[in-house]
Amino acid sequence: MADLPQRNDISTIAKPYLIFLGDVSDPLDAKTGLGIRQWRPQWCAAQYRLPGCEVDLGLPELAPAAAAAAGAKSLVIGIAPDGGRLPPHWRGVVLDALDAGLDIVAGLHSRLNADAEFAERARLRGRRLVDVRNPPQDFSPGSGAKRSGKRLLTVGTDCAVGKKYTVLALEQALHARGIAADYRATGQTGVLIAERGVAIDAVISDFVSGAAEWLSPANDAAHWDLVEGQGSLFHPSYAAVTLGLIHGSQPDAMVLCHEAGRATIGNFPDYPIPAWKDAIATYEAAARLTNRAARVVGISINTASLPEAEARAVIAATASETGLPCIDPLRFGCDAIADVLERL
């Protein structure tokens, strides 16, 4: 894998983790904790939840002091609270964890190291505060220059539809075939899983395409960079970061991701999920600014809410309608899309 140096060395975060889940009720809010638990279970020692929390990672339930006594080294804030800021009533947990001898790891928009109380307590206890959303270096605007190697980008009908899980599963599938491929993380959860990358939404907008170029550098001709998508071109809040990521990553292939049963964009009931043909055409038009050969090569659907028979029917119907291979990467595997990538 090409060297991607980190300003804040993520690879040295002390393990194992105590995953803090706060008092959230929606699993989408706990995507960081769920992602680490799914893809790096060996790093997860325990979870800590406040009263009212309805998300369960299936880990031992330990408070910070007990987790530290059991061998945990870092408390990871495993949720993405509204606005990316730590709710005031969670601050005591962070301070307790520092007093217990744990480092603190967070992917919040508000930085741990910029918080005077946290910084002073960490200094007194000799602990480390790790801000995962700290960009690994300063970036320049994208150059648009063609690079060697192959690139895949996951894109979505909406946010939180499985873009990260799809590229992680594809990385495993390609490695199993002996194909050189690297997952390129673009969000705080992915950066923690990969121990490198850049939280692209922490980059100044003019430099997003340049950050995406840095993330997927020139490589061997047969090597695949599998770039984690962010946002959606159809989302009224987050389309901008999606477009910059598309232009900078210059994808040869895109996989369009969707969650079965979702009819509207996030919390925007007046914004319907686009039709397949419209979504495919929109993404291909956007990507062809920097790669004229860019195309959508497959569909990835999160069918977790459906019984198996219905899930298989949805996947088959989508493949028939679009003429593209369709998968649920966690439930039924990635072979149909890996076959396409092996031929490209």
Domain residue limits, the chain: 10-131, 150-343
- 225: which 2 tokens? 């960079």
- Name which CATH class applies to 150-343: alpha beta
- Digitized pLDDT (tens) for each residue of the chain, 344 residues in all: 444 444 557 888 999 999 999 999 989 889 999 999 999 999 999 999 999 999 999 999 999 999 999 999 999 999 987 667 899 999 999 999 999 999 999 998 889 999 999 999 999 999 999 999 888 889 999 999 999 999 999 999 999 999 999 999 999 999 999 999 999 999 999 999 999 999 999 999 999 999 999 999 999 999 999 999 999 999 999 999 999 999 999 999 999 999 999 999 988 999 999 999 999 999 999 999 999 999 999 999 999 999 999 999 999 999 999 999 999 999 999 999 999 999 99
Give the helix/strand (H/E) hosting 44. Answer: strand 44-49
Q: For the domain made up of 10-131, give the CATH fold.
A: Rossmann fold (3.40.50)
From residue 218, alpha-carbon distances to 4, 227, 254 in Å are 12, 14, 18
Residue 82 confidence (pLDDT): 66
**Which residue, 31, 24, 33, 59, is CA-closest to 45?**
59
What are the structure tokens assigned to 275, written together?
């039709």
The distance from CA 60 to its chain's CA centroid, rounded to whole angstroms, is 25
Asked if 10-131 and 150-343 have one fold, the answer is yes
Give the contacts of 172 (CB within 8 A, at least 6 positions apart): 334
> Environment class of residue 101 by beta-carbon count within 10 Å: exposed (0-12), middle (13-18) or buried (19+)?
middle
Residue 77 CB-half CA count within 13 A: 30
* Alpha helix ranges (H) inside 115-176: 116-125, 163-176
Amino acid at 185: A
Q: Which position has the token pair 């949720």?
A: 79
Judged by DSSP in three states, 137 sits in coil
Distances (CA, A) of 286 to 146, 155, 212, 247, 331: 16, 11, 15, 8, 30
